[in-house]
Amino acid sequence: MSSETFKPEPINLATNSLASIAVSITVWALALLEVGAVIYFLLTGGANEKFSEFPLIVNSHVLLGAVYLLMAPLQFSKALRTRSLDFHRWSGRFLVSFGLIAGASAFLWKSSFLTQAHPSN
């Protein structure tokens, strides 16, 4: 008996084109599904009546989140990084700022919602 344990070889997405294509299709499909949900949300006014109480906060969260989810998959494109490193870097900077603003708006909305739900006397 050998004392060596079986270690599966990791999948390298850069060299395994089938896995790379499958991951890319999945990520883009989820991003497009999210954009469809954003469009539905904006057209119908959301599923919660509390959304209309804070339209600036909620809409900034939804719109910046949609932009973030559409731009995020581009960060993983090796071809884009190779061809346009400046675009890759600038889009990454925008992604960080969009993510922080979207996260802060979610925090503000939730804290505003909680303070209205339980007003202090």
Instruction: Provide the mean pLDDT of the chain.
Output: 78
Q: What is the pLDDT of residue 119?
A: 53
Q: What is the pLDDT of residue 12?
A: 59
Question: Per-residue pLDDT averaged across 8-17, rounded?
Answer: 62
Q: What is the pLDDT of residue 95?
A: 92
Question: Per-residue pLDDT averaged across 99-106, rounded?
Answer: 88
0.85 exceeded by pTM: no
Q: What is the pLDDT of residue 62?
A: 83
Q: With 0-12 CB in 10 A as exposed, 13-18 as middle and 19+ as buried, what is 116?
A: exposed
In the structure, how many helices (H) and strands (E) does the chain have? 4, 0
pLDDT tens-digit readout, 52-91: 777 788 888 888 888 888 888 888 888 888 898 899 999 9
